[in-house]
Copies of this chain bind each other. A is one copy, B any other.
Amino acid sequence: MPPTSRQVVLATRPSGMVDEETTRLETVPQPEPGPGEALVRVQYLSIDPTIRTWMDDAPGYLPPIEIDAVVRSGGIGEVVASNSDSYAVGDTVFGMLGWQEHAVVDEGGNTAQVIPDGVPPTEALSVFGVTGMTAYFGLLDVGRLQPGDTVVVSGAAGATGSVVGQVARIKGAGRVVGIAGGPEKCAWLIDELGFDGAIDYKNDDLGARLRELCGDGIDLYFDNVGGEILDTCLAQLAMRARVVCCGAISAYNARGEAHGLTNYFSLITKRARMEGFLILDYLDRFPEAQMEMFGWVADGQVRHAEHVVEGLENAPDALNLLFTGGNTGKVVVALGS
């Protein structure tokens, strides 16, 4: 019998959270690499909020995932067969491997990046990967952090938010405040990551706490959640504030019912700027940032957490964790195969 491989495909488009109707686990023949291609045994999947947006049949920065297609996702794996000079058997690679046990990569549209020896795969997905890079370039390039800035970040206990706060501190922010859900996450931000303040949006009055912790207003707000939290922060901007729009987790499962922003008039009175970005545009500049990040991680200035979910079949539940706030740090799925 030929070798097989399991994969998770999109069965129907979700209208809210992903549920058992949304995806289907299938067993298919293991793919064979053609000329110039390599076969990768997938070890870890990167679970990111943006995957949920690709499941909608809506215009976006990438085409929607097609029905019956493997769910698109970043991942890390080991090269187990290769007809390409770019990949050697035994290499660890990062690429858009998808929710499946085996993926084929090539030297063209579906290329992968070889991970240097000594970098743990989960760190390659988190702090040195797309989420860490999102924090770095969003904060420094889009947000143009200035020394002394009062920085607020939402989704602060998440993979990106937790790095945003720590890099802000290293780069001279005057005050770093995180918004997260629940007292445990808030304690982690302050005790482990060195945030100056943390607001538990599930139990605190966000507006009142922001006034308390950011008396002179917010100079730089890094937004991962959109909706009501973004709107509340807009009302408390300092003069010439910068709002970095990185994601809108609160809206991904609520198309049509999302909270509308009413405090955008602050952009005028405060001469403020609100700007979105996608990390895809920064791929060429990853090496400079990764170099700096390696140093910070090595000397303990940047700490990171991974939330590992075991088993390909649990990838849909892992994705939901991002929206229920069930994770601290980067969510990865370990295939353990």
Which of B247, B262, B268, B275 is A278 in contact with, Cβ under 8 Å? B268
CB distance from A180 to the nearest CB of B (A): 21
CB distance from A65 to the nearest CB of B (A): 16
Q: Once the chains bind, are A267 and B274 in contact (CB under 8 Å)?
A: yes
Q: Once the chains bind, are A245 and B226 in contact (CB under 8 Å)?
A: no
Closest residue of chain B to A242 (Cβ to Cβ) is B275
Which of B60, B258, B272, B276 is A275 in contact with, Cβ under 8 Å? B272
Counting chain A residues whose Cβ lies within 8 A of the other chain, the interface size class is 20 to 34
Q: With A273-B274, A273-B275, A275-B273 known to touch, is A248 a contact of B268 (CB < 8 Å)?
A: yes
Closest residue of chain B to A237 (Cβ to Cβ) is B276
Q: Once the chains bind, are B267 and A245 in contact (CB under 8 Å)?
A: yes
Chain B residue numbers with a CB within 8 Å of A294 are none
Within 8 A of B (CB), among A13-45: none
Closest residue of chain B to A256 (Cβ to Cβ) is B262
CB distance from A254 to the nearest CB of B (A): 10
Q: Once the chains bind, are A274 and B274 in contact (CB under 8 Å)?
A: yes
In the complex, A152 has a CB within 8 A of chain B: no
A262 to B228, CA, bound (A): 11
In the complex, A246 has a CB within 8 A of chain B: yes
Q: Once the chains bind, are A264 and B265 in contact (CB under 8 Å)?
A: no
In the complex, A289 has a CB within 8 A of chain B: no
Q: Once the chains bind, are A268 and B251 in contact (CB under 8 Å)?
A: no
Q: Once the chains bind, are B273 and A262 in contact (CB under 8 Å)?
A: no
A234-274 interface mask toward B, CB cutoff 8 Å, 1 = contact, 0 = none? 00000000000111100100000011111011111111111
CB distance from A62 to the nearest CB of B (A): 9
In the complex, A281 has a CB within 8 A of chain B: yes
A274 to B59, CA, bound (A): 20
Q: Once the chains bind, are B281 and A276 in contact (CB under 8 Å)?
A: no
In the complex, A323 has a CB within 8 A of chain B: no
In the complex, A296 has a CB within 8 A of chain B: no
In the complex, A277 has a CB within 8 A of chain B: yes
Chain B residue numbers with a CB within 8 Å of A265 are 226, 245, 248, 251, 276
Chain B residue numbers with a CB within 8 Å of A230 are 264
Q: Once the chains bind, are A271 and B276 in contact (CB under 8 Å)?
A: yes
Closest residue of chain B to A239 (Cβ to Cβ) is B61
Query: What are 23 pairs between A and B in contact, CB < 8 Å?
Result: A59-B269, A60-B269, A226-B264, A226-B265, A230-B264, A245-B265, A245-B267, A246-B268, A247-B268, A248-B268, A251-B262, A251-B265, A259-B260, A260-B261, A267-B276, A268-B277, A269-B276, A271-B275, A271-B281, A272-B275, A273-B273, A273-B275, A274-B274
| 19 further A-B pairs in the complex, CB-CB below 8 A; given A248-B265, A251-B262 | A61-B268, A230-B264, A231-B260, A245-B265, A247-B268, A248-B264, A251-B265, A260-B260, A261-B264, A264-B274, A265-B276, A267-B275, A268-B276, A269-B278, A271-B276, A271-B277, A272-B276, A273-B274, A274-B274
A: which residues have CB within 8 A of B? 59-61, 226, 230-231, 245-248, 251, 258-262, 264-278, 281
